[in-house]
Structure 1
Amino acid sequence: MCAMVPSVNLRTRGVTAVTAVVLLLAACSGGGAADDGASAAPSGSATSPEPAGSPADPDAPLDANQACAAMYVDADGQGRTLEERVGAALVGASKELTGTSADEMHALAVELGRLETRVPEEFRAPVEQVRVPFLQLQEGLDLGADQEIELDIASTVEGLKAFEELC
């Protein structure tokens, strides 16, 4: 990603409503999925040193439980799930696009792209939907300076809902 990012006005419809939905989804589903994954193993069973959703090979296919953990469990110890980071990045970019927020959006686009190739088939379309505004921003920045980029945040909301239903 370039160190300099052209000034881009992001015009989104219903940003407040969509933001509320994304944050609501993050608040409601983030904790529930973690609890479900934690209770899936019997209390007396042996545990692996690897956290759920992070096999030794970072490009290995994931099963459904690992796919859910990848979205809803803080596997890297940063304090936020992937779902929460997606919501925060969209809110931040809709307020003001800076070099930092553009870099974060690009990093999430890459992370979601890797996730899309690893999840079971039924999870791929929802991940693709979540990724739409991240790709739109990247394409807009690649095209050049001083243009409006309309992000399809509704696609992300629908993708997160569909992903949550699968979990």
Structure 2
Amino acid sequence: MVRPVITAPAGFRACGALVAVATLVLLAGCSPGGGADVGASAPPSGSASAAPSTKPDPDAPLDANQACAAMYVDNDKTLEERIGTALVGASDGLDGQAADQMHATAVELGRLETRVPEEFRGPIEKIRVPFLQLQESLDQAEGEQLELDVASTVEGLKEYRELC
């Protein structure tokens, strides 16, 4: 699905692989193993009273289970869902809200990339491609049409899921 963007600098568009991203997002809850392994490493409910006083270091390295939780479990809406939502929003028209969402997701992916084990970094680099393309285009104030490489995101999400 390719749609020109009305309010973006001269017509950004996302390629047809956007449908695949949406499919991956919808299937995220159906995949085996992603959330089940992570729950085993969660602290027991009896220690919940200590949790508010100590916050985990947001820059601390993550192990494989924590890297999977960061993509598929943490927060009300998973990172994988936010990635799909941001890309769909950008394809519908890059207004200020869509641009902010793309930027916030790019920043979150960048922070995650520095914290995950080495084997997760390649997939994250692929996931980030359209986010970085958009940022670079906005930074350069290009007025030409840009086709975001959403297929790279789909491939990166598949690779990330295989690691989990």
Whether the TM-score (by the shorter chain) exceeds 0.5 is: yes
Would the aligned equivalents of 2:130 and 2:153 in 1 still touch at CA under 8 Å? yes
- Is 1:115 the equivalent of 2:112? yes
Q: Aligned residue for 1:132? A: 129
Aligned ranges for residues 49-68 of structure 1 at < 5 Å?
49=51, 56-68=56-68
Q: TM-score, normalised by structure 1?
A: 0.80
Alignment equivalent of 2:155, drawn from 154, 158, 165: 158
Q: Tell me: CA distance 1:64–1:38, structure 2 relative to 1, closer, same or farther (3 Å).
A: same
Instruction: Give % identity.
Output: 59
Q: Aligned residue for 2:25? A: 23
Q: Aligned residue for 2:9? A: 7
Alignment equivalent of 1:80, drawn from 71, 77, 80: 77
Q: TM-score, normalised by structure 2?
A: 0.81
Unaligned runs of 5+ in 1: none
Q: CA RMSD in A?
A: 2.7
Q: Distance in 2 between matches of 1:133 and 1:151?
A: 5
Would the aligned equivalents of 1:21 and 1:157 in 2 still touch at CA under 8 Å? no
Shift of 1:85: 0.2
CA offset digits 1:40-61 (Å, max 9, x no partner): 56979967738xxxx7211111
Unaligned runs of 5+ in 2: 1-6
Q: Tell me: CA distance 1:17–1:104, structure 2 relative to 1, closer, same or farther (3 Å).
A: closer
Q: Distance in 2 between matches of 1:153 and 1:6?
A: 18
Q: Aligned residue for 2:4? A: none
Q: Aligned residue for 1:147? A: 144
Q: Distance in 2 between matches of 1:105 and 1:42?
A: 32
Question: What residue identity is the alignment partner of 2:139?
Answer: D
Would the aligned equivalents of 1:132 and 1:152 in 2 still touch at CA under 8 Å? yes
Q: Tell me: CA distance 1:125–1:137, structure 2 relative to 1, closer, same or farther (3 Å).
A: same
Would the aligned equivalents of 1:129 and 1:159 in 2 still touch at CA under 8 Å? yes
